[in-house]
Amino acid sequence: MLAEPRHDESADASTARPRVDYFYDEGIGNYEYGRHHPMRPHRVRMTHHLVVNYGLYKQMNIFRPKPAAYGDLTTFHSDEYINFLRTVTPENMEEPNFRSVLERFNICDDCPIFDGLYEYCQAYTGGSIGGAARINQGCSDIVINWAGGLHHAKRGEASGFCYTNDIVLAILELLKVHARVLYIDIDIHHGDGVEEAFYLTNRVLTLSFHASHDTSGTSFFPRTGHINDTGGKAGKNYSVNFPMFAGVDDVAYESIFKPVIRKIMEKFQPSVVVFCCGADSLSGDRVGCWNLSIKGHAAVLEFVKTFNLPMLVLGGGGYSIRNVARCWCYETSRLLGTPIADQLPWHEFMDYYLPDYKLHVPVSNMRNENTPEQLEARLQKVLENLSQIECAPNVQMHHAPNALDPGADSEEDEEEAINADRRRARGRRPHMAEYFDDDETVADRMISGRMGLDSEDIGEMLSCGCVDECECRPPNPFVASLRANGR
């Protein structure tokens, strides 16, 4: 008999004191994707300084992550790709042996080779895997790793500022102990890398809320996450996508988020939650096009917390870095159940928060391009799909791939078999990069990157990003074949 998650929506967050672990590598802020690159690991250091100066660190176990080892990373990623990441440098990347594979591994302007790239991957991934291990050991109720959440990385390919997929690796770790893992992604981009890894299994339910188009109507990176992409084979209806147009505000978001979560908790009954808290869904983000306040962003995280399941809370995107730091610090406080003042404590990065030095900032007056009717229609469709899944499938536990144990029976492992299926079907993907001026006040977006499909595009969860079925997207061969076979 499976126990229902203990849901206490009315719980006073200020009195509930979970055991919280916090992973932080003090070197993380020194990595630089490039001078004009919008992804800045420094934002994690800024978050940390707020966390420390608000005194929140006193209520958490602070860990410096153990760098993810080669064997950890190749639990999901291909040996060839990880070998490449650990040997390529800005100095040698033009040598013939590296140059010949740059395109295959999707090394480009938004996924550049920079100094310390492999160590960076080891640090942010090590935090997520280490956090999952803490949860598995029953040592912690909530683990935070703001440096993690790089949800676009594929098995053998960088994508969307992500190189190694710490989320997939953390979930694989959790599957060693947990029968069912719920993955929730509130980054404004579709969590394509995580969805793809678990598209065919019913042990991981992936739920992504994301933008389908930006304010100009352009399909939003990574152009996947169609509402009708729901999983395949045993995983049918265990991939949940909720795309929305620009301008999503707090009220609209909460109105669709809560019913979906309640339904998943009722039907899927996960024993652990992994949460990607990408902050590019905040109002005013340099890349995003939504209008969430920091409190609205945190409210959905807090709602999930009321189900009293162990949670691994990760970062993700977020490109107006002062707001990312505000948001993740505030969310740290909400996870701890500790109120913090709106006036920021003095610290060395204070100048970022000029002129008011406040934690909370107003949202913009942008229009919400999602009508209540559209949202309700999408909500009903998602709930209908979820009602199709078997209530808490009786999963037979077995060993998940064990990167630390070379003798693990990975050949017989379900996840490995699933990944093998996916590998055979995978290939190159169309890529759309988004670049921004280094000046955060200038939202001069350029869309560039390789367009179009080629014969190797099979296997991607490609969709046009449209909310409803439409004719404007080329068929995704992998999804199309699953549909044709009635899966």
Which positions lie near Zn ion, rule CB under 5 A?
Answer: 187, 189, 278, 280, 317
Provide the minimum distance between the beta carbon of 236 and Zn ion in the complex, in angstroms, as a whole number: 27
Q: Which residues share a beta bridge with 433?
A: 448
Provide the minimum distance between the beta carbon of 209 and Zn ion in the complex, in angstroms, as a whole number: 11
Cα–Cα distance for residue pair 323/320, rounded to 1 Å: 6
Residue 284 or 317 having the CB closest to Zn ion:
317
Residue 313 or 336 having the CB closest to Zn ion:
313
Active site residue 152: yes
Cα–Cα distance for residue pair 203/358, rounded to 1 Å: 42
Do the bridges between strand 272-276 and strand 181-185 make them parallel or antiparallel, or are there none, so unpaired? parallel
C-beta nearest to Zn ion: residue: 317
Q: Is the separation of the CB atoms in 301 and 238 below 8 Å?
A: no
Summarize the annotated binding site for a divalent metal cation as residue ranges.
187, 189, 280
Residue the block writes with tokens 């707090």: 250
Provide the minimum distance between the beta carbon of 189 and Zn ion in the complex, in angstroms, as a whole number: 4
Residue 225 or 232 having the CB closest to Zn ion:
225
Q: Rounded to an integer, what is the distance from CA 142 to the centroid of its chain?
A: 17
Length of the chain: 487
Q: Rounded to an integer, what is the distance from CA 5 to the centroid of its chain?
A: 23
Residue 126 or 317 having the CB closest to Zn ion:
317
Residue 65 or 317 having the CB closest to Zn ion:
317
Q: SS3 for 115? A: coil
Burial classification of residue 157, based on how many CB atoms lie within 10 Å of its CB (0-12 exposed, 13-18 middle, 19 or more buried): buried
List of residues 6+ apart from 100 with CB closer than 8 A = none
Beta strands in 61-203 (DSSP E): 61-63, 142-145, 181-185
Summarize the annotated binding site as residue ranges.
110, 160, 187, 189, 280, 319
Summarize the annotated binding site for substrate as residue ranges.
110, 160, 319
Q: Is the separation of the CB atoms in 123 and 26 below 8 Å?
A: no
Provide the minimum distance between the beta carbon of 423 and Zn ion in the complex, in angstroms, as a whole number: 25
Q: What Cα–Cα distance (Å) separates residue 483 from each residue in 199, 229, 467?
A: 13, 10, 18
Provide the minimum distance between the beta carbon of 259 and Zn ion in the complex, in angstroms, as a whole number: 24
Provide the minimum distance between the beta carbon of 197 and Zn ion in the complex, in angstroms, as a whole number: 17
Q: Which of 42, 77, 152, 431 is catalytic?
A: 152
Residue 40 or 189 having the CB closest to Zn ion:
189
Do the bridges between strand 433-435 and strand 446-448 make them parallel or antiparallel, or are there none, so unpaired? antiparallel
Q: Is the separation of the CB atoms in 81 and 102 below 8 Å?
A: no
Q: Which residues share a beta bridge with 157?
A: 154
Q: What Cα–Cα distance (Å) separates residue 274 from each residue in 171, 311, 387?
A: 8, 6, 22
Mind telling me the catalytic residues? 152
